[in-house]
Structure 1
Amino acid sequence: MAEGKKKDNVDPNRRAVIIGGAAAVAGIAAGIVIGGYAFPRTTKVIQPQVTVEKEVSTVTQVSTTTTTVPTQVPQQVGYVKQKVANISQLTSPGQYVTTMYMGYLVYIIKTGVPSENGVGPNNDIVGFSASCAHMGYILVYDPSNNCLLCPQHFSQYDATRGGMQVVGHPNQFLPQLILEYEESTGDIYALGFNRLVYGTYNTALQGLAQMSGGGNS
C-alpha cells in the first residue's frame, strides 16, 4: 500500500508541463500540415522579356530619266610614221645611220646582238635621240661597247638595253625610237619616241611644228 500511494504521489505541476509540451509539439506539427494545404506555396514564374526590333530596309530608287551630256573629244596630237633607214644600210654590227625624225636628230644603230625594242631579222636594230638627256649635247656612238657617249660630260647610254644610263650625270634613260621593220622592202620606220626628247615639253607637238616650218614652239 505504501508503494501504491507513492506512485500516485506525482507532482501535478510537472505532469502539466509534460502534457502541455506534448500538446504544443502536436499542435505545431498539425499546423504545418494544415497550413500546407490551406495556404499552398505560390511559385512566381518570371517570363524573359524579348525585344523585337523592326528591320528597316532601305530602298534606292533609280531614276529612269536619262540626261544626255555632250562629250567633247580632245584633239589628239601624235607622232607620224616616217621612214628613217633601210636594212641595206645596216649590214654589219656597229653600223649606224644618222638622220632626222620629225625635226630631231636620231641614230639608227645595228648593235649586232638582240637588243631591247630591237627590230629586223635579228632584233638588233634600234634607234635613239642623238641629244643627251642630261643637257642636250649631241652624242657619239661607240661600236666597241654599243654605247652612246656624251663628249661634254662623259655620260654613257647602253644601246642594247633601251638606252639605260651607264655612267655620268643623267638620271633617266635616253629617249628611244619605236621602230617598225617592213620585211618585204627592208624599210625601217620610226613611229615615235618612248619619252620626251631633251628640251621639249611635248615632243610630238613640237616635232609637228618643226615639220610644218613653225619652229620649236
Structure 2
Amino acid sequence: MKNNFPFQLYLILSEEACLNEDFCKVAEQAILGGVDLVQLREKNCSTDNFKQKALRLQDVLTKHSIPLIINDNLEVALSVGAYGIHVGANDIAPLEIRKQWAACQSIGYSIEDIQQMDSISAQLSDCFGVSPVYKTNTKTDTIIEWGLDGLEKIRKSTDKPLIAIGNMNTANVYEVIKAGADCIAISSFICQAKNPQQVAYEIKQMIQRAL
C-alpha cells in the first residue's frame, strides 16, 4: 500500500490559514521547499468559491507536478480534476466516493477513534490521517489526542500509509515519523511562516532523516 503513497510532506492549505498572504504563492513557496502533496481545505465558503480557489491552486500545482487533494467536497474534487479527497467520519463516506468517482487516486480518511479502524470506510480508504497527534487550534472538533503511543497503536493495526496531523512542527516531526507515520501534514506552521520555503525544507529534511 505504501508504494502507492510516496508522499512525505503534506500541506493543508486554506486562504484563512495564510492570513494576509496569497495562498497560491504560499503553496508555491512550500513546494519549492519540499512539499509533495497539497490539500485545499475550505470549510467556510460556498462551493462555487471553493471551486474557484481550487482551480487557481491547481494551476500552480500542475506546473510543479504536485497532486491536489480536496477536503470533504466531492463536487469540487470532480470539477477541478483533483488527485484525491480527504474525509472524516462525519463527511461523505468513502463508499459513496467510490461509487461516484471511480478514478479517484487517493481517499484519505481521518482516524479519530480506534474503532474506526474496523469500519467499511477505513477498509475502502487508501490512507489514514491520524488526527490529531497533538491538539491544535486549527481543528477543534476532534475527539482525542493520539500522542506517540496512539500513533504506534494504529501503526501496528494497519499497513496503509499514515499521515500525522495536528500541531506538527520542527520540534516533533522526527519522533512522529519514528513512531510510525509515513507522512507529515502541516497547516499553519508553514502557511504562517515568514519563509514557507525554508520551513518546508527544514521539515522535509527531518522527515528524510527519520525514515
Q: Smaller-chain TM-score range?
A: under 0.3
Greater strand proportion: 1
Over alpha carbons, which structure has the higher Rg?
Answer: 1
Larger RCO: 1 or 2 (CA < 8 Å, sep 6+) = 2
TM-score, normalization by structure 1:
0.25
